[in-house]
Amino acid sequence: MKKTIENRDDVNLLVRSFYAKVRADKEIGFFFNETIQDWEGHLEKLTDFWETNLFGGKKYKGNPIAVHNEVDERFGHRISPNEFGIWLNLWFETLDELFEGENVAILKRRARKMGTFLYMNIFENRRKE
């Protein structure tokens, strides 16, 4: 039986497994591989992000909207709904492979919502250029 997502260790496993898939993906891997230098730092930051998202607390401090606008600028505005769709499908796939339960549904829903929000902000940010 698969386990439920209960603590930081579970979130850390989720994040590491997810990024292994992302980095290997032909269509979106290069955005990450060419941007992120300190992978250990990134994986811990993303663990902070999802841990805070799920269980509360203040570990994550950052501005995902600004970060994604910068990534879109750096890559010549090549981020499209296709990239967000691939990201989300890898997220869903990782969650379903490793875990079950209510927190799986919550993390799917929150990522879907945030993806929509980030993309709409990227689109808006392009008007300024």
Question: Where does this chain bind ligand HEM (CB under 6 A)?
Answer: 28, 31-32, 35-36, 49, 62, 64, 67-68, 71, 79, 83-84, 87-88, 111, 114-115, 118
Residue number with the shortest CB distance to ligand HEM? 62
Token readout for 88 is 């989300």
Task: Pick between residue 2 and residue 113 the one whose CB is nearest to ligand HEM.
Answer: 113
Task: Pick between residue 1 and residue 56 the one whose CB is nearest to ligand HEM.
Answer: 56
Task: Pick between residue 63 and residue 102 the one whose CB is nearest to ligand HEM.
Answer: 63
Contact indicator for 53, 110 with CB cutoff of 8 Å: yes
Q: How far is the CB of 51 from ligand HEM (least distance, A)?
A: 12
Token readout for 67 is 């970060």
Residue 102 to residues 29, 69, 105, 129, Cα–Cα distance (Å): 29, 31, 5, 42
Token readout for 63 is 């501005």
